[in-house]
């Protein structure tokens, strides 16, 4: 490149509209404008960027990570506070170095409609704040009240500060988020609420009155190709009590990483979730703790049955799992009505082609680490990797499924086609081809419809990972117990059992039996078959050394390895314990069993 046009932004704020309680700014319209090229330099200072969530940060010498009301928002290029009846319509927000647009404390009856937002470093849109005067305002006029965000197209937000979201709603009353399309994000698309229940009535911050959060409605939104980089988020995510709030008629698809497409997090209360469609997602619903309560989740549609539900006082019924893409008419109607309405479809055409995140490859057993071993089972995560779901049904494994292929060019420059276990739009499980040289390999995935995605894979001799019953790399082991009696007879027993109340597998109590019984734990993993020798393999169960009698290929299944451990009788009565495995100095992900 001999020449280049460079734009160097100088301003951090392009518009700042701030009124007072007695004299709010009001009745202004911004239409057909372009707001572009703002910067943000605080992360370049000694403050850095210590993020909690959704680009809210710990800032200052006295920052307290235990005070959920003390985090500082990332500033917006266009900010309004104590503002009423402000309208922003058909504007473009692009190339902005922090948050794009924010309506904060005292903003009431404002409308954000039909705007295009892309290439935003942090959150695209923020409505409401998280400070004390936001959740328990001393004056009614300080409330963030009755604001609408509708028919906006948001693409490629949180490009630098990847914990950012498409639309963030703090403590608000009567916010409506409707008919937006939000796509190609590293993290969550829509986040509503704050505080993890701490600031709610009866929460640990000591309030006896509720926050202002109520009557917020998230409806008719189209969310897709999100959670491309981070985990522990979702398509639509909530925090804290929000009586009278609804999540309805949204279509969420192609979520790359965990957790649920609908994620009700800590303290969420009194939210009605209905008539949503969730497709090509790791799980459609995630409710992980009993601080989440008084919710109703009914008449939703998904192509996966996978959920986590550990909430309290719940109603979850009349939801439909769809097989083979056979969506019923009611679901198809939701899909068709979600996203931009006809009058605003043209704004999407002005957006640049999306920048799809590079492919990330992890162990298909542990889902962690920076390396995978030769001949191991690997999982590639990305967006638009395949045009459909397809599962291998033959041995040897195919190198093409539904027209999708995976090619690895190793550090020696040799290109090989990878055997495929299954392909989907957001995840592909494949085997690192036999003979792949250690070192950095280049990965190329070509989908059946011609999309090409690339990434790199760090291939090592060993990178041990253990499979788990819930296929998350955590919790109950994917294993069985082998019992050998004094007369030599053998029997096998499961060490995990499905708990319908928790919607997951848990460790099943294992009885070690009489002193004459020997019990071995048979673990399954990948990435360990090329260990140096058996003496390099160490294991503990509940902190007690567990002798290893075998660690190598399982033999019957492609890429699968096996480890056999003797279960010491000194563990009797210990209950749930952690199994730790180390091979050639590398630790596998810990898994859990239960000793009766």
Q: Where are the chain's structural domains?
A: 27-349, 360-460, 465-595
Core vs surface per residue 581-593: b (16+ CB within 10 A) or e: bebeebebbbbbb
Cross-strand partners of 583: 537, 586
Helix or strand (DSSP H, E) at 334: helix 329-337
Q: What is the rounded distance in angstroms from the CA atom of residue 584 to the CA atom of residue 385? A: 34
> What pLDDT, on the 0 to 100 scale, is given for residue 355?
60
Among 257, 261, 193, 165, CA closest to 472: 257
Could you confirm whether domain 465-595 is CATH 2.60.40?
A: yes
DSSP state of 434: T
Helix or strand (DSSP H, E) at 347: helix 346-349
Fold observed for domain 27-349: Pectate Lyase C-like (2.160.20)
Q: What is the rounded distance in angstroms from the CA atom of residue 216 to the CA atom of residue 142? A: 17
Among 503, 73, 44, 569, CA closest to 308: 503
Q: Retrieve residue 546's tokens.
A: 């567990």
Residues 6+ apart with CB under 8 A from 104: 73, 79, 80, 81, 126, 128, 129, 134, 144
CB atoms within 10 A of CB 474: 14
> What pLDDT, on the 0 to 100 scale, is given for residue 257?
79
Instruction: Give residue for tokens 């090229």.
Output: 37
Give the gyration radius of the chain's Cα atoms.
Answer: 26
Among 40, 32, 42, 49, CA closest to 14: 40
Low-confidence ranges of the chain (pLDDT < 50): none
DSSP state of 336: H
Sheet containing strand 360-363, edge to edge, reads: 360-363, 377-381, 427-431, 420-423, 390-391
Core vs surface per residue 14-52: b (16+ CB within 10 A) or e: beebebeeeebbeeeebeebebebbbbebbeeeeebebb
Specify the pTM: 0.68
Q: Which CATH number, 3.40.50.720, 2.70.50.70, 3.40.50.10300, 2.60.40.420, labels domain 360-460?
A: 2.70.50.70
């Amino acid at each position: 490149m001999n020449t280049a046009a460079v734009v160097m932004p100088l301003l951090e704020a392009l518009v700042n509209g701030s009124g007072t309680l007695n004299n709010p700014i009001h009745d202004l319209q911004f239409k057909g404008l372009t707001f572009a090229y703002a910067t943000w330099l605080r992360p370049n200072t000694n403050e850095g960027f210590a993020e909690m969530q959704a680009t809210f940060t710990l800032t200052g010498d006295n920052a307290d990570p235990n005070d959920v009301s003390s985090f500082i928002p990332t500033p917006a290029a266009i900010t309004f506070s104590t503002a009423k009846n402000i309208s922003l319509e058909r504007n473009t927000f692009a190339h902005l170095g922090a948050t794009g647009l924010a309506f904060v404390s005292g903003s009431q009856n404002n409308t954000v409609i039909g705007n295009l937002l892309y290439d935003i470093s942090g959150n695209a849109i923020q409505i409401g704040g998280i400070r004390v005067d936001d959740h328990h305002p001393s004056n009614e006029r300080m409330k963030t009240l009755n604001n609408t965000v509708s028919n906006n197209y948001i693409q490629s937000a949180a490009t630098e500060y990847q914990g950012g979201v498409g639309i963030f709603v703090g403590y608000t009353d009567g916010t409506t988020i409707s008919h937006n399309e939000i796509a190609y994000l590293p993290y969550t698309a829509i986040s509503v609420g704050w505080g993890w229940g701490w600031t709610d009535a009866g929460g640990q911050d000591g309030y006896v009155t509720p926050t202002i959060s109520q009557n917020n409605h998230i409806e008719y939104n189209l969310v897709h190709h999100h959670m491309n980089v981070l985990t522990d988020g979702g398509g639509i995510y909530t925090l804290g009590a929000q009586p009278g709030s609804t999540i309805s008629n949204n279509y969420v698809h192609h979520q790359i990483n965990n957790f649920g497409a609908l994620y009700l997090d800590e303290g969420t209360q009194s939210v009605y979730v209905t008539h949503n469609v969730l497709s090509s997602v790791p799980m459609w619903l995630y409710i992980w703790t009993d601080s989440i309560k008084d919710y109703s989740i009914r008449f939703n549609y998904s192509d996966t049955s996978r959920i986590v539900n550990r909430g309290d006082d719940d109603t979850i019924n009349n939801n439909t799992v769809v097989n083979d893409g056979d969506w019923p008419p009611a679901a198809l109607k939701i899909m068709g009505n979600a996203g931009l309405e006809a009058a605003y479809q043209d704004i999407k055409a002005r957006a640049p082609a999306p920048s799809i995140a590079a492919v990330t490859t992890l162990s298909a057993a542990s889902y962690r680490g920076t390396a995978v071993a030769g001949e191991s089972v690997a999982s590639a995560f990305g967006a638009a990797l395949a045009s459909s779901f397809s599962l291998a049904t033959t041995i040897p494994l195919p190198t093409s499924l539904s027209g999708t292929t995976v090619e690895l060019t190793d550090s020696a420059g040799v290109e090989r086609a990878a055997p495929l276990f299954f392909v989907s739009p957001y995840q592909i499980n494949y085997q690192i081809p036999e003979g792949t040289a250690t070192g950095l390999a280049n990965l190329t995935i070509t989908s059946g419809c011609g999309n090409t995605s690339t990434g790199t894979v760090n291939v090592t001799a060993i990178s041990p990972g253990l499979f788990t019953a819930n296929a998350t790399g955590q919790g109950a082991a994917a294993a069985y117990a082998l019992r050998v009696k004094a007369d030599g007879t053998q029997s096998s027993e499961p060490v995990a059992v499905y708990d319908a109340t928790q919607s997951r597998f848990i460790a099943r109590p294992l009885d070690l039996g009489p002193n004459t019984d020997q019990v071995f734990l048979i673990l399954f993993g990948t990435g360990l078959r090329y260990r140096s020798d058996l003496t390099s393999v160490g294991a503990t169960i509940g902190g007690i050394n567990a002798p290893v009698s075998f660690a190598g290929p399982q033999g019957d299944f492609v890429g699968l390895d096996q480890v056999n451990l003797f279960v010491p009788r000194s563990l009797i009565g210990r209950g749930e314990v952690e199994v730790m495995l180390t091979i050639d100095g590398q630790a596998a992900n810990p898994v859990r069993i239960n000793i009766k």
